[in-house]
Amino acid sequence: MKSSDFLLLCRSVRFGDTDAAGVMHFHQLLRWCHEAYEESLEKFGVSPADLFPRPGLNLELLLPIVHCSADYLAPLSCGDPLAIALVPKGLNAHSFEVSYSFSSRGEAVANACIRSVCITAIDRKRAPLPAPISRWLAAAAVTD
């Protein structure tokens, strides 16, 4: 695996991703962002199951999303190929953001950004990012 393979993900637009007009429903973009984030972590060797809450797992740290934005540049329809390029960036010791560039057939179709902050599960105070996220961010910075 090349060092940047964990930062480019591909998928296709599915029928269930579209609205009654046959184009991607607007909320799909942020869902795809989070899926790409999780898949990028997996490709890098970090199990999302170790970072995100699930029944029976008491995590000490949480990574809530505190900001998201999206710009839609062109419509997407069922069957369109989609490439999602991620640019993760640490902002400080307890927060990071991931910028996403979406393209289809070489054309830019959307951009998005999601920012997260690390907090403790018990008192909800800011905390240093978990080591796996810090390693993922450092590796992404090397590929710039």
How do the domains of the chain map onto residue ranges?
A: 5-142
Given the residues 5, 17, 19, 80, the one annotated as active site: 19
State residue 144's pLDDT score. 56
pLDDT value at position 4? 67
The 10s digit of each residue's pLDDT in 34-50 is 999 999 999 999 987 78
Q: Is 49 exposed, middle or buried (0-12, 13-18, 19+ CB in 10 A)?
A: exposed
Cα dihedral across residues 109, 51, 94, 119: positive or negative: positive
Q: Are 3 and 143 in contact (CB under 8 A)?
A: yes
Check if 5 is active-site.
no
| Architecture of the structural domain at 5-142 | Roll (3.10)
Rounded Cα–Cα distance for residues 98 and 66 (Å): 12
Instruction: Kindly report the pTM of this predicted structure.
Output: 0.90
Tokens at 38, concatenated: 């999780």
Q: Quick one: pLDDT band at residue 88, thresholds 50, 70, 90?
A: very high
Q: How confident is the model at residue 3 (pLDDT cuts 50, 70, 90)?
A: very low
pLDDT(87) > 50: yes
Whether the per-residue pLDDT at 1 is higher than 50: the answer is no
Instruction: Please report the pLDDT score of residue 57 as a whole number.
Output: 62
Confidence of residue 22 (pLDDT cuts 50, 70, 90): confident
* Count helices and strands in the chain by DSSP H and E runs: 2, 7
